[in-house]
Amino acid sequence: MKEKLLSLKELAMSSLKDCANSAHLEEFRLKYLSKKGELTSVLKSLKDVAPELRPAMGQLANEIKNTLQKEFNEFQDKLKKADIAKQLNEGGLDVTLPVANDMPGHLHPITQIQREIEDIFRGMGFMVFDGPQVEDEFHNFTALNIPDWHPARDSQDTFWLNDGNLLRSHTSSVQIRAMQQFTPPLRGIAPGRVFRNEAIDASHEACFYQVEGLYIDKNISVGNLIHTMKVMLREIFKKDVEVRLRPGFFPFVEPGFELDISCLICKGKGCSVCKQSGWVELCPCGLVHPNVLKHCNIDPDIWSGFAFGLGMDRLVMMRYGIDDIRHFHSGDLRFIRQF
């Protein structure tokens, strides 16, 4: 049987080389690779081979089948390319025609929500800021009222680079850049990728997505903050969402809050997502600390403002009931194709 298989392989390879067009190729496929082909019929006689030889013969036959299939595919590709080249030369192929798009791609769910958020805030007169992902200490920490001795630096497990710079641990660095660049009144959001050297689990990734929001004007209060957040949430979830504020500490805001929303999964009744509390922590926020304004040459006696930092991954997870943040960048198409 071994000889039979090997000679079949040789024969097949040489007849493949003789194929000159797609009709020949199809003949080849039928003769050697199809269910009624010669290889299959050799395989059928496997049952007559001595049992101890069967596994080795089966393996050999499969190897030959794979090799032939691979060669066939390559040859088919080559023929196709030659055909296109020929058509191009003869002017019979219109390369400006739209391609058949039977597997169109789409935007990642995080990009989708980012664009929605940008639209919502543009509608409220906010600019959209961009900033570098490799930041310096000043913008990521010092200007945000986090001097180098401050323990808050440790709470954000920062990736430091050899040159003393860092991968930004939050998009708050962009609020500093915005205040340096523009004079108040000023409103804007800064969406983007942030990095923390965290232990990775279902709700923590080393790279995730935030939107920082900033509003500087005269007489800005917590009321403006709550209203803005409610409008945004209503637009995203297409219904009124209840919010509550709890005190929270961030060196760059005073007072600082954690903004919770009523759990959309159980409608506030208590479930595993909200840990039976009926509330889900969504967004740290607060009124911009006077020291931060001063770092950006803005007079805190005239101007005040609010800032918030929204986790976009978390928002997408809430919207679709996704229970593991690691899915987002797993590269698993079965996950990504659902959106």
DSSP letter for each residue of 116-133: HHHHHHHHTT-EE----S
Q: Which has the closest alpha carbon to 312: 180, 189, 193, 222? A: 193
CB of 326 to ligand PHE, least distance (A): 20
- H or E segment at 152? helix 152-155
Select 123 or 255, whichever has its Cβ closest to ligand PHE.
255
Q: How far is the CB of 144 from ligand PHE (least distance, A)?
A: 8
Closer CB to ligand PHE, residue 135 or residue 212? 212
**249 vs 339, beta carbon nearer ligand PHE:** 249
Name the closest residue to ligand PHE (Cβ): 309
Shorter beta-carbon distance to ligand PHE: residue 131 or 286: 286
Q: Which is nearer to ligand PHE, 173 or 262 (CB)?
A: 173
CB of 80 to ligand PHE, least distance (A): 52
Number of residues written out for the chain: 339
**Is the distance from CB of 229 to CB of 135 less than 8 angstroms?**
no
**DSSP state letters, 5-58:** HHHHHHHHHHHHHH--SHHHHHHHIIIIISTTSHHHHHHHGGGGS-TTTHHHHH
Q: Which residue number, 12 or 145, has a Cβ lying nearer to ligand PHE?
A: 145
- Least CB distance from residue 116 to ligand PHE, whole Å? 20
Contact between 251 and 242 (Cβ < 8 Å): no
User: Following DSSP, what letter does each residue of 297-316 receive, concatenated?
Assistant: T--TTT-EEEEEEEEHHHHH
* DSSP bridge pairs for 260: 244, 281
CB of 297 to ligand PHE, least distance (A): 20
Q: How far is the CB of 214 from ligand PHE (least distance, A)?
A: 8
Q: Using the minimum distance from each CB to ligand PHE, give the nearer residue, 308 or 328.
A: 308
Identity of the residue, 39 or 225, whose beta carbon is nearer to ligand PHE in the bound complex: 225
Q: Are 245 and 257 in contact (CB under 8 A)?
A: yes
Q: How far apart are CA 287 and CA 160, in angstroms?
A: 29
Residue 173 host element (H or E): helix 172-181
The least distance separating ligand PHE from the CB of residue 188, rounded to whole angstroms, comes to 13
Query: What distance in Å separates the CA atoms of residue 339 and residue 322, rounded to the nearest whole number?
Result: 12
Angle at which helices 2-18 and 54-90 pack, to 10 degrees? Answer: 0
Q: Which residues bind ligand PHE (CB under 6 A)?
A: 170, 172, 212, 250, 253, 284-286, 307-309
Closest approach, Cβ 307 to ligand PHE, in A, equals: 4
